[in-house]
Amino acid sequence: MPAAPPWLRPVILLLAALLVMAWFSPEVGDSDTWWHLKTGQFLLARHALPVPDPFAFTTYTGKPAYAGEEAVRRFNLTHEWLAQILLYLVWRATGFAGLVLFRALLLAAFCGVVGWIAWFRSGGFYRSVAAAVAAASASHFFATDRPYLLTFLFLAVTVALLEARRYWFLPPLFLVWANLHGGFFAGWLVLAAYGADSLYQRWRGRPAPGERGLWIAAGLAVLLSGVNPNGFRVLSIMFYYRHSPMQSTLWEWQYPNPWPPSPFSVLLVAAGALLLWKRRQVRPVDWLLYLGFGALSVMAVRNTILVALVGPLMLATYWPWKKALPPAAEWLAAAALLAGNLLLIAGGHAFQLRAADWKYPSGAADFLLAHHIPGPLFNTYELGGYLIWRLWPAQKVFIDGRALNETVYQDCQRIAFNASAEGGPTAADLLRKYGIQAIVMDGFEYTNGSPYLLPAALSDPAQTEWKLVYRDSQALVFLRHPPPEVQPLPNLEGLAAMETQCANYVQHDPSRPRCTLGLADLFQRIGDLPRAARWRAQAQALGLR
Protein backbone atom coordinates (compact mmCIF):
# COMPACT_ATOMS: atom_id res chain seq x y z
CA MET A 1 0.00 0.00 0.00
CA PRO A 2 1.45 3.43 -0.91
CA ALA A 3 2.49 5.78 1.86
CA ALA A 4 -0.14 8.00 3.39
CA PRO A 5 -0.32 11.46 1.74
CA PRO A 6 1.36 14.36 3.59
CA TRP A 7 -1.96 16.10 4.21
CA LEU A 8 -3.35 13.17 6.25
CA ARG A 9 -1.57 14.02 9.49
CA PRO A 10 -2.83 17.64 9.60
CA VAL A 11 -6.34 16.27 8.97
CA ILE A 12 -5.92 13.76 11.83
CA LEU A 13 -4.75 16.57 14.10
CA LEU A 14 -7.76 18.69 13.13
CA LEU A 15 -10.19 15.80 13.64
CA ALA A 16 -8.67 15.02 17.05
CA ALA A 17 -8.97 18.67 18.10
CA LEU A 18 -12.59 18.78 16.91
CA LEU A 19 -13.40 15.55 18.79
CA VAL A 20 -11.93 16.93 22.00
CA MET A 21 -13.86 20.18 21.59
CA ALA A 22 -17.05 18.20 20.97
CA TRP A 23 -16.55 16.17 24.16
CA PHE A 24 -16.18 19.33 26.19
CA SER A 25 -19.11 21.34 24.80
CA PRO A 26 -22.30 20.26 26.59
CA GLU A 27 -24.74 22.97 27.67
CA VAL A 28 -24.03 25.24 30.65
CA GLY A 29 -25.48 23.17 33.45
CA ASP A 30 -23.26 23.39 36.53
CA SER A 31 -24.97 24.99 39.51
CA ASP A 32 -21.79 26.85 40.54
CA THR A 33 -21.50 28.68 37.22
CA TRP A 34 -24.24 31.10 38.18
CA TRP A 35 -22.62 32.47 41.33
CA HIS A 36 -19.26 32.68 39.56
CA LEU A 37 -20.87 34.88 36.90
CA LYS A 38 -22.65 37.06 39.47
CA THR A 39 -19.43 37.45 41.47
CA GLY A 40 -17.60 38.55 38.32
CA GLN A 41 -20.32 41.12 37.70
CA PHE A 42 -20.07 42.30 41.31
CA LEU A 43 -16.28 42.65 41.09
CA LEU A 44 -16.46 44.74 37.93
CA ALA A 45 -19.23 46.95 39.28
CA ARG A 46 -17.88 47.46 42.81
CA HIS A 47 -14.09 47.24 42.21
CA ALA A 48 -13.85 45.34 45.49
CA LEU A 49 -13.67 41.74 46.65
CA PRO A 50 -17.02 40.25 47.76
CA VAL A 51 -16.14 40.43 51.47
CA PRO A 52 -18.32 40.45 53.49
CA ASP A 53 -20.50 38.10 51.45
CA PRO A 54 -23.18 40.14 49.66
CA PHE A 55 -25.29 37.25 48.33
CA ALA A 56 -26.49 35.05 51.23
CA PHE A 57 -28.11 36.33 54.42
CA THR A 58 -27.00 33.34 56.52
CA THR A 59 -23.24 33.44 55.85
CA TYR A 60 -22.24 34.86 59.21
CA THR A 61 -24.89 33.27 61.43
CA GLY A 62 -24.02 30.75 64.14
CA LYS A 63 -20.67 29.70 65.54
CA PRO A 64 -17.85 28.12 63.51
CA ALA A 65 -18.27 24.34 63.39
CA TYR A 66 -14.52 23.63 63.22
CA ALA A 67 -11.23 25.44 63.60
CA GLY A 68 -10.50 27.28 60.40
CA GLU A 69 -14.04 27.67 59.11
CA GLU A 70 -13.79 31.46 59.01
CA ALA A 71 -10.48 31.26 57.10
CA VAL A 72 -12.04 28.83 54.62
CA ARG A 73 -15.01 31.17 54.20
CA ARG A 74 -12.82 34.13 53.28
CA PHE A 75 -10.74 31.96 50.95
CA ASN A 76 -13.84 30.68 49.13
CA LEU A 77 -15.04 34.25 48.66
CA THR A 78 -11.79 35.61 47.25
CA HIS A 79 -9.43 33.08 45.68
CA GLU A 80 -11.05 32.99 42.19
CA TRP A 81 -11.65 36.70 41.68
CA LEU A 82 -9.74 37.14 38.42
CA ALA A 83 -11.22 34.03 36.80
CA GLN A 84 -14.72 35.14 37.81
CA ILE A 85 -14.20 38.46 36.07
CA LEU A 86 -12.95 36.59 32.99
CA LEU A 87 -15.95 34.25 32.92
CA TYR A 88 -18.37 37.15 33.31
CA LEU A 89 -16.68 39.13 30.52
CA VAL A 90 -16.91 36.13 28.20
CA TRP A 91 -20.61 35.76 29.01
CA ARG A 92 -21.29 39.48 28.62
CA ALA A 93 -19.59 39.58 25.23
CA THR A 94 -20.81 36.29 23.75
CA GLY A 95 -23.61 34.87 25.91
CA PHE A 96 -23.86 31.22 26.85
CA ALA A 97 -22.71 30.08 23.42
CA GLY A 98 -19.39 31.84 23.98
CA LEU A 99 -19.14 30.44 27.50
CA VAL A 100 -19.51 26.88 26.17
CA LEU A 101 -16.84 27.46 23.52
CA PHE A 102 -14.51 29.16 26.00
CA ARG A 103 -14.77 26.18 28.36
CA ALA A 104 -14.22 23.73 25.49
CA LEU A 105 -11.17 25.69 24.34
CA LEU A 106 -9.64 25.69 27.82
CA LEU A 107 -10.04 21.94 28.22
CA ALA A 108 -8.94 21.26 24.64
CA ALA A 109 -5.86 23.42 25.25
CA PHE A 110 -5.11 21.36 28.37
CA CYS A 111 -5.27 18.16 26.32
CA GLY A 112 -3.30 19.79 23.51
CA VAL A 113 -0.48 20.72 25.88
CA VAL A 114 -0.42 17.12 27.17
CA GLY A 115 -0.10 16.00 23.55
CA TRP A 116 2.68 18.51 22.89
CA ILE A 117 4.69 17.31 25.90
CA ALA A 118 4.24 13.72 24.69
CA TRP A 119 5.55 14.76 21.26
CA PHE A 120 8.45 16.71 22.83
CA ARG A 121 9.48 13.65 24.82
CA SER A 122 8.91 10.91 22.25
CA GLY A 123 8.91 12.59 18.86
CA GLY A 124 5.97 10.40 17.89
CA PHE A 125 3.04 12.03 16.10
CA TYR A 126 0.54 9.31 16.91
CA ARG A 127 1.77 9.02 20.48
CA SER A 128 1.07 12.72 20.96
CA VAL A 129 -2.40 12.50 19.40
CA ALA A 130 -3.21 9.42 21.48
CA ALA A 131 -1.97 11.19 24.63
CA ALA A 132 -4.21 14.19 23.97
CA VAL A 133 -7.27 12.00 23.29
CA ALA A 134 -6.53 9.88 26.38
CA ALA A 135 -6.29 13.05 28.48
CA ALA A 136 -9.65 14.17 27.11
CA SER A 137 -11.30 10.84 27.90
CA ALA A 138 -10.32 11.18 31.56
CA SER A 139 -11.36 14.86 31.74
CA HIS A 140 -14.97 14.59 30.56
CA PHE A 141 -16.37 15.06 34.07
CA PHE A 142 -14.77 18.52 34.20
CA ALA A 143 -16.71 20.03 31.29
CA THR A 144 -18.16 22.69 33.59
CA ASP A 145 -17.80 26.45 33.59
CA ARG A 146 -15.64 26.96 36.65
CA PRO A 147 -12.35 28.71 37.41
CA TYR A 148 -10.57 25.43 38.08
CA LEU A 149 -10.34 24.94 34.31
CA LEU A 150 -7.59 27.55 34.32
CA THR A 151 -5.66 25.61 36.96
CA PHE A 152 -5.73 22.51 34.77
CA LEU A 153 -4.38 24.43 31.79
CA PHE A 154 -1.74 26.31 33.77
CA LEU A 155 -0.60 23.08 35.43
CA ALA A 156 -0.02 21.45 32.03
CA VAL A 157 1.73 24.60 30.77
CA THR A 158 4.02 24.52 33.83
CA VAL A 159 5.12 20.98 32.97
CA ALA A 160 5.63 22.00 29.32
CA LEU A 161 7.79 24.99 30.28
CA LEU A 162 9.92 22.86 32.57
CA GLU A 163 10.33 20.17 29.94
CA ALA A 164 11.37 22.76 27.36
CA ARG A 165 13.56 24.61 29.93
CA ARG A 166 11.71 27.89 29.32
CA TYR A 167 12.06 28.73 32.98
CA TRP A 168 11.64 32.49 32.85
CA PHE A 169 8.00 32.24 31.81
CA LEU A 170 7.21 30.62 35.16
CA PRO A 171 7.22 33.69 37.48
CA PRO A 172 4.61 35.71 35.53
CA LEU A 173 2.59 32.55 34.94
CA PHE A 174 2.33 31.89 38.70
CA LEU A 175 1.55 35.53 39.47
CA VAL A 176 -1.50 35.40 37.21
CA TRP A 177 -2.44 31.85 38.21
CA ALA A 178 -2.52 32.65 41.93
CA ASN A 179 -5.27 35.19 41.30
CA LEU A 180 -7.27 32.98 38.95
CA HIS A 181 -7.71 29.98 41.23
CA GLY A 182 -6.39 28.60 44.49
CA GLY A 183 -5.16 25.43 42.78
CA PHE A 184 -1.88 27.17 41.92
CA PHE A 185 -0.26 25.28 44.82
CA ALA A 186 -0.33 22.17 42.58
CA GLY A 187 2.23 24.00 40.47
CA TRP A 188 4.52 24.09 43.50
CA LEU A 189 4.48 20.28 43.47
CA VAL A 190 5.60 20.28 39.85
CA LEU A 191 8.39 22.76 40.60
CA ALA A 192 9.48 20.63 43.54
CA ALA A 193 9.52 17.48 41.40
CA TYR A 194 11.72 19.04 38.72
CA GLY A 195 13.91 20.62 41.40
CA ALA A 196 14.40 17.25 43.09
CA ASP A 197 15.24 15.70 39.72
CA SER A 198 17.83 18.43 39.18
CA LEU A 199 19.43 17.69 42.56
CA TYR A 200 19.51 13.99 41.76
CA GLN A 201 21.21 14.62 38.42
CA ARG A 202 23.80 16.82 40.12
CA TRP A 203 24.42 14.10 42.72
CA ARG A 204 24.97 11.67 39.86
CA GLY A 205 27.52 14.08 38.37
CA ARG A 206 25.30 15.07 35.42
CA PRO A 207 23.98 18.57 36.24
CA ALA A 208 21.16 19.60 33.92
CA PRO A 209 21.71 22.53 31.52
CA GLY A 210 20.31 25.77 32.93
CA GLU A 211 20.04 24.35 36.45
CA ARG A 212 20.73 27.74 38.01
CA GLY A 213 17.96 29.32 35.95
CA LEU A 214 15.52 26.62 37.09
CA TRP A 215 16.13 27.34 40.77
CA ILE A 216 15.96 31.13 40.40
CA ALA A 217 12.81 31.03 38.25
CA ALA A 218 11.13 28.49 40.52
CA GLY A 219 11.92 30.54 43.62
CA LEU A 220 10.53 33.69 42.00
CA ALA A 221 7.44 31.80 40.85
CA VAL A 222 6.69 30.63 44.39
CA LEU A 223 7.28 34.10 45.85
CA LEU A 224 5.10 35.83 43.26
CA SER A 225 2.30 33.30 43.74
CA GLY A 226 1.91 34.77 47.22
CA VAL A 227 0.71 38.03 45.64
CA ASN A 228 -2.99 37.21 45.93
CA PRO A 229 -5.78 37.99 48.43
CA ASN A 230 -4.87 35.00 50.61
CA GLY A 231 -1.08 34.99 50.40
CA PHE A 232 0.38 31.58 51.20
CA ARG A 233 -2.55 30.32 53.28
CA VAL A 234 -3.74 27.93 50.57
CA LEU A 235 -2.07 24.85 52.11
CA SER A 236 -3.69 25.38 55.49
CA ILE A 237 -7.02 25.88 53.70
CA MET A 238 -6.62 22.51 51.95
CA PHE A 239 -6.01 20.95 55.37
CA TYR A 240 -9.18 22.55 56.72
CA TYR A 241 -11.14 21.28 53.71
CA ARG A 242 -10.36 17.71 54.70
CA HIS A 243 -11.76 18.41 58.19
CA SER A 244 -14.92 20.14 57.01
CA PRO A 245 -18.12 18.13 57.62
CA MET A 246 -19.81 19.95 54.73
CA GLN A 247 -17.00 19.27 52.25
CA SER A 248 -17.03 15.61 53.25
CA THR A 249 -20.65 15.29 52.06
CA LEU A 250 -20.13 16.94 48.65
CA TRP A 251 -19.74 14.44 45.82
CA GLU A 252 -16.68 16.04 44.23
CA TRP A 253 -14.71 15.61 47.48
CA GLN A 254 -15.51 11.88 47.77
CA TYR A 255 -12.98 9.16 47.00
CA PRO A 256 -13.22 8.12 43.33
CA ASN A 257 -14.75 4.70 42.74
CA PRO A 258 -12.22 2.34 41.13
CA TRP A 259 -14.95 0.08 39.79
CA PRO A 260 -16.36 -0.20 37.20
CA PRO A 261 -13.24 0.73 35.21
CA SER A 262 -13.13 4.29 33.91
CA PRO A 263 -10.61 6.23 31.82
CA PHE A 264 -9.24 7.59 35.10
CA SER A 265 -8.67 4.20 36.72
CA VAL A 266 -7.36 2.62 33.51
CA LEU A 267 -4.81 5.42 33.00
CA LEU A 268 -3.76 5.34 36.66
CA VAL A 269 -3.17 1.58 36.71
CA ALA A 270 -1.68 1.34 33.20
CA ALA A 271 0.79 4.17 33.81
CA GLY A 272 1.83 2.71 37.17
CA ALA A 273 2.34 -0.76 35.69
CA LEU A 274 4.40 0.66 32.83
CA LEU A 275 6.63 2.66 35.18
CA LEU A 276 7.29 -0.46 37.23
CA TRP A 277 8.06 -2.46 34.09
CA LYS A 278 10.44 0.19 32.76
CA ARG A 279 11.72 1.27 36.18
CA ARG A 280 15.37 1.26 35.12
CA GLN A 281 14.60 3.86 32.45
CA VAL A 282 12.19 6.07 34.39
CA ARG A 283 13.34 9.58 35.22
CA PRO A 284 13.08 10.54 38.90
CA VAL A 285 10.80 13.44 38.00
CA ASP A 286 8.33 11.03 36.41
CA TRP A 287 8.18 8.90 39.55
CA LEU A 288 7.55 12.02 41.61
CA LEU A 289 4.86 13.35 39.28
CA TYR A 290 3.09 10.00 39.06
CA LEU A 291 3.23 9.25 42.78
CA GLY A 292 2.34 12.81 43.84
CA PHE A 293 -0.51 13.40 41.42
CA GLY A 294 -1.68 9.79 41.66
CA ALA A 295 -1.98 10.11 45.45
CA LEU A 296 -3.91 13.38 45.14
CA SER A 297 -6.22 11.91 42.49
CA VAL A 298 -7.38 9.03 44.69
CA MET A 299 -8.19 11.43 47.53
CA ALA A 300 -11.05 13.25 45.77
CA VAL A 301 -13.09 13.01 42.58
CA ARG A 302 -12.21 16.61 41.72
CA ASN A 303 -8.51 15.67 41.60
CA THR A 304 -8.87 12.84 39.09
CA ILE A 305 -7.94 15.13 36.20
CA LEU A 306 -4.36 15.06 37.50
CA VAL A 307 -4.13 11.52 36.12
CA ALA A 308 -5.31 12.88 32.76
CA LEU A 309 -2.06 14.88 32.80
CA VAL A 310 0.50 12.38 34.06
CA GLY A 311 -1.03 9.10 32.84
CA PRO A 312 -0.84 9.81 29.09
CA LEU A 313 2.65 11.31 29.49
CA MET A 314 4.00 8.19 31.16
CA LEU A 315 2.42 5.93 28.53
CA ALA A 316 3.70 8.05 25.63
CA THR A 317 7.20 8.26 27.12
CA TYR A 318 7.82 4.64 28.10
CA TRP A 319 5.57 2.50 25.89
CA PRO A 320 8.02 0.22 24.04
CA TRP A 321 6.31 0.22 20.62
CA LYS A 322 8.60 2.18 18.30
CA LYS A 323 7.56 0.97 14.83
CA ALA A 324 5.92 3.38 12.40
CA LEU A 325 2.25 2.79 11.73
CA PRO A 326 1.45 1.27 8.34
CA PRO A 327 -0.51 3.52 5.93
CA ALA A 328 -3.68 1.49 6.49
CA ALA A 329 -3.54 2.20 10.23
CA GLU A 330 -3.14 5.93 9.57
CA TRP A 331 -6.25 5.94 7.40
CA LEU A 332 -8.05 3.90 10.05
CA ALA A 333 -7.10 6.46 12.73
CA ALA A 334 -8.55 9.26 10.60
CA ALA A 335 -11.74 7.26 9.97
CA ALA A 336 -12.16 6.51 13.68
CA LEU A 337 -11.77 10.17 14.62
CA LEU A 338 -14.21 11.22 11.90
CA ALA A 339 -16.76 8.65 13.09
CA GLY A 340 -16.40 9.84 16.68
CA ASN A 341 -17.10 13.42 15.64
CA LEU A 342 -20.11 12.45 13.55
CA LEU A 343 -21.61 10.35 16.35
CA LEU A 344 -21.26 13.12 18.92
CA ILE A 345 -22.61 15.85 16.66
CA ALA A 346 -25.44 13.77 15.17
CA GLY A 347 -26.47 12.64 18.64
CA GLY A 348 -26.86 16.25 19.78
CA HIS A 349 -24.27 15.83 22.53
CA ALA A 350 -21.74 18.31 21.14
CA PHE A 351 -21.64 22.09 20.77
CA GLN A 352 -24.74 22.66 22.86
CA LEU A 353 -24.35 26.42 22.78
CA ARG A 354 -26.92 27.23 25.45
CA ALA A 355 -27.72 27.14 29.15
CA ALA A 356 -29.54 24.14 30.64
CA ASP A 357 -32.68 26.13 31.43
CA TRP A 358 -34.60 22.91 32.07
CA LYS A 359 -32.64 22.39 35.33
CA TYR A 360 -33.10 25.74 37.03
CA PRO A 361 -36.02 27.69 38.54
CA SER A 362 -36.33 30.44 35.95
CA GLY A 363 -40.12 30.54 36.28
CA ALA A 364 -39.95 30.69 40.07
CA ALA A 365 -37.42 33.53 39.89
CA ASP A 366 -39.69 35.40 37.47
CA PHE A 367 -42.59 34.93 39.89
CA LEU A 368 -40.65 36.25 42.88
CA LEU A 369 -39.43 39.30 40.98
CA ALA A 370 -42.80 40.07 39.38
CA HIS A 371 -44.60 40.04 42.73
CA HIS A 372 -41.79 41.66 44.74
CA ILE A 373 -41.87 38.80 47.26
CA PRO A 374 -39.97 39.83 50.39
CA GLY A 375 -37.43 37.65 52.17
CA PRO A 376 -35.96 35.94 53.91
CA LEU A 377 -36.30 32.94 51.60
CA PHE A 378 -35.28 29.33 51.98
CA ASN A 379 -33.79 27.49 49.03
CA THR A 380 -32.05 24.16 48.51
CA TYR A 381 -28.27 24.00 48.09
CA GLU A 382 -28.33 23.24 44.35
CA LEU A 383 -30.62 26.17 43.46
CA GLY A 384 -28.74 28.84 45.40
CA GLY A 385 -26.29 29.77 42.66
CA TYR A 386 -29.01 30.32 40.06
CA LEU A 387 -31.11 32.33 42.49
CA ILE A 388 -28.11 34.57 43.24
CA TRP A 389 -27.76 35.15 39.49
CA ARG A 390 -31.43 36.01 39.03
CA LEU A 391 -32.52 37.65 42.27
CA TRP A 392 -29.62 39.64 43.69
CA PRO A 393 -29.65 42.48 44.78
CA ALA A 394 -33.44 42.35 45.21
CA GLN A 395 -33.18 39.17 47.27
CA LYS A 396 -30.48 37.23 49.10
CA VAL A 397 -30.38 33.44 49.25
CA PHE A 398 -30.32 31.02 52.16
CA ILE A 399 -27.42 28.88 50.90
CA ASP A 400 -25.48 28.16 47.71
CA GLY A 401 -22.55 26.18 46.35
CA ARG A 402 -19.85 28.40 47.83
CA ALA A 403 -20.00 26.25 50.98
CA LEU A 404 -19.62 29.16 53.40
CA ASN A 405 -21.35 28.03 56.61
CA GLU A 406 -21.30 24.53 58.05
CA THR A 407 -24.18 25.06 60.50
CA VAL A 408 -26.42 26.57 57.84
CA TYR A 409 -25.70 23.62 55.53
CA GLN A 410 -26.76 21.16 58.23
CA ASP A 411 -29.90 23.21 58.94
CA CYS A 412 -30.63 23.35 55.20
CA GLN A 413 -30.54 19.55 55.00
CA ARG A 414 -32.78 19.20 58.04
CA ILE A 415 -35.31 21.63 56.57
CA ALA A 416 -35.27 20.15 53.05
CA PHE A 417 -35.71 16.59 54.31
CA ASN A 418 -38.18 17.72 57.01
CA ALA A 419 -36.06 16.01 59.63
CA SER A 420 -34.60 16.83 63.01
CA ALA A 421 -31.76 15.50 65.10
CA GLU A 422 -32.64 13.54 68.23
CA GLY A 423 -34.14 16.09 70.55
CA GLY A 424 -33.20 18.88 68.14
CA PRO A 425 -35.27 21.47 66.30
CA THR A 426 -37.81 20.44 63.68
CA ALA A 427 -37.91 21.83 60.16
CA ALA A 428 -40.73 24.17 61.26
CA ASP A 429 -38.59 25.37 64.19
CA LEU A 430 -35.69 26.13 61.86
CA LEU A 431 -37.89 27.97 59.37
CA ARG A 432 -39.09 30.18 62.22
CA LYS A 433 -35.54 30.59 63.57
CA TYR A 434 -34.35 32.05 60.26
CA GLY A 435 -37.53 34.09 59.78
CA ILE A 436 -38.29 32.40 56.45
CA GLN A 437 -41.20 33.92 54.54
CA ALA A 438 -40.74 32.20 51.16
CA ILE A 439 -39.62 28.70 50.20
CA VAL A 440 -38.16 28.02 46.75
CA MET A 441 -37.06 24.47 46.16
CA ASP A 442 -36.99 21.53 43.80
CA GLY A 443 -38.24 18.11 44.77
CA PHE A 444 -35.13 15.90 44.76
CA GLU A 445 -31.46 15.44 45.38
CA TYR A 446 -31.05 14.06 41.86
CA THR A 447 -27.69 12.33 42.25
CA ASN A 448 -29.07 9.72 44.63
CA GLY A 449 -32.76 10.27 43.87
CA SER A 450 -33.78 11.12 47.43
CA PRO A 451 -36.96 13.24 47.50
CA TYR A 452 -36.95 16.34 49.63
CA LEU A 453 -39.69 15.72 52.16
CA LEU A 454 -40.49 19.34 52.98
CA PRO A 455 -42.55 20.01 49.82
CA ALA A 456 -44.33 16.69 50.37
CA ALA A 457 -45.15 17.67 53.95
CA LEU A 458 -46.34 21.13 52.89
CA SER A 459 -48.59 19.49 50.28
CA ASP A 460 -50.71 18.06 53.08
CA PRO A 461 -54.10 19.86 52.92
CA ALA A 462 -54.20 19.79 56.72
CA GLN A 463 -51.34 22.27 57.08
CA THR A 464 -52.36 25.91 56.66
CA GLU A 465 -49.23 27.86 57.60
CA TRP A 466 -47.71 27.70 54.10
CA LYS A 467 -49.47 28.30 50.79
CA LEU A 468 -48.37 26.83 47.46
CA VAL A 469 -48.36 29.78 45.03
CA TYR A 470 -46.25 28.57 42.11
CA ARG A 471 -45.13 25.26 40.65
CA ASP A 472 -43.59 24.05 37.41
CA SER A 473 -41.18 21.37 36.19
CA GLN A 474 -38.22 22.99 37.96
CA ALA A 475 -39.40 24.29 41.33
CA LEU A 476 -42.16 25.02 43.83
CA VAL A 477 -42.79 28.25 45.72
CA PHE A 478 -44.52 28.32 49.10
CA LEU A 479 -45.29 31.59 50.88
CA ARG A 480 -46.17 32.14 54.51
CA HIS A 481 -48.25 35.24 53.66
CA PRO A 482 -49.07 35.54 49.92
CA PRO A 483 -49.71 39.10 48.66
CA PRO A 484 -53.34 39.94 47.86
CA GLU A 485 -52.88 39.60 44.10
CA VAL A 486 -51.55 36.02 44.34
CA GLN A 487 -54.14 33.26 44.39
CA PRO A 488 -52.83 30.17 46.25
CA LEU A 489 -52.95 26.78 44.53
CA PRO A 490 -54.31 23.62 46.15
CA ASN A 491 -51.54 22.27 48.36
CA LEU A 492 -51.87 18.78 46.89
CA GLU A 493 -50.53 20.12 43.61
CA GLY A 494 -47.13 20.08 45.29
CA LEU A 495 -47.02 16.30 44.92
CA ALA A 496 -48.02 16.57 41.26
CA ALA A 497 -45.24 19.11 40.80
CA MET A 498 -42.70 16.65 42.22
CA GLU A 499 -43.86 14.07 39.67
CA THR A 500 -43.50 16.60 36.87
CA GLN A 501 -40.02 17.53 38.04
CA CYS A 502 -38.82 13.93 38.13
CA ALA A 503 -40.21 13.23 34.66
CA ASN A 504 -38.55 16.40 33.34
CA TYR A 505 -35.18 15.46 34.81
CA VAL A 506 -35.24 11.88 33.51
CA GLN A 507 -36.19 13.14 30.06
CA HIS A 508 -33.23 15.52 29.90
CA ASP A 509 -30.70 13.47 31.88
CA PRO A 510 -31.45 9.74 31.56
CA SER A 511 -28.22 8.95 33.40
CA ARG A 512 -29.84 10.08 36.68
CA PRO A 513 -33.23 8.33 36.91
CA ARG A 514 -33.21 7.48 40.61
CA CYS A 515 -35.87 10.08 41.45
CA THR A 516 -38.35 7.51 40.09
CA LEU A 517 -37.47 5.15 42.94
CA GLY A 518 -37.57 8.06 45.35
CA LEU A 519 -41.12 8.91 44.28
CA ALA A 520 -42.21 5.28 44.55
CA ASP A 521 -40.92 5.15 48.13
CA LEU A 522 -42.50 8.52 48.97
CA PHE A 523 -45.97 7.54 47.73
CA GLN A 524 -45.66 4.16 49.46
CA ARG A 525 -44.91 6.00 52.71
CA ILE A 526 -47.91 8.33 52.48
CA GLY A 527 -50.27 5.51 51.46
CA ASP A 528 -50.88 6.48 47.81
CA LEU A 529 -50.37 2.94 46.52
CA PRO A 530 -51.48 3.45 42.88
CA ARG A 531 -48.94 6.24 42.36
CA ALA A 532 -46.28 4.24 44.19
CA ALA A 533 -46.90 1.28 41.86
CA ARG A 534 -46.79 3.48 38.77
CA TRP A 535 -43.44 5.04 39.69
CA ARG A 536 -41.95 1.71 40.76
CA ALA A 537 -42.89 0.28 37.38
CA GLN A 538 -41.24 3.23 35.66
CA ALA A 539 -38.10 2.76 37.76
CA GLN A 540 -37.99 -0.91 36.80
CA ALA A 541 -38.43 -0.01 33.14
CA LEU A 542 -35.34 2.19 33.51
CA GLY A 543 -33.36 -0.72 34.95
CA LEU A 544 -33.61 0.27 38.63
CA ARG A 545 -34.47 -2.09 41.44
| CATH architecture, domain 357-512 | 3-Layer(aba) Sandwich (3.40)
- Tell me the pLDDT tens digit for each residue of 314-354: 999 999 877 777 888 889 999 999 999 999 999 888 999 99
Is 422's pLDDT higher than 70?
A: no
SS (HEC) of 170-232: HHHHHHHHHHHCHHHHHHHHHHHHHHHHHHHHHHCCCCCCCHHHHHHHHHHHHHHCCCCCCCC
For residues 374-385, average pLDDT: 94
The one-letter amino acid code at 375 reads G
Tell me, what's the pLDDT at 386? 98
Average pLDDT of the chain, as a whole number: 94
Is 1's pLDDT higher than 60?
A: no
Tell me, what's the pLDDT at 90? 98
Is 246's pLDDT higher than 90?
A: no
Q: Among candidates 463, 461, 462, 471, which has minimal Cα distance to 439?
A: 471
For residues 485-498, average pLDDT: 95
For residues 149-162, average pLDDT: 98
Burial class (CB in 10 A: 0-12, 13-18, 19+), 193: buried
Domains of the chain: which residue ranges? 105-322, 357-512
- Tell me the pLDDT tens digit for each residue of 502-529: 999 999 999 899 999 999 999 999 999 9
Three-class DSSP category at 476: strand
Count the neighbouring beta carbons within 10 Å of the beta carbon of residue 261. 9
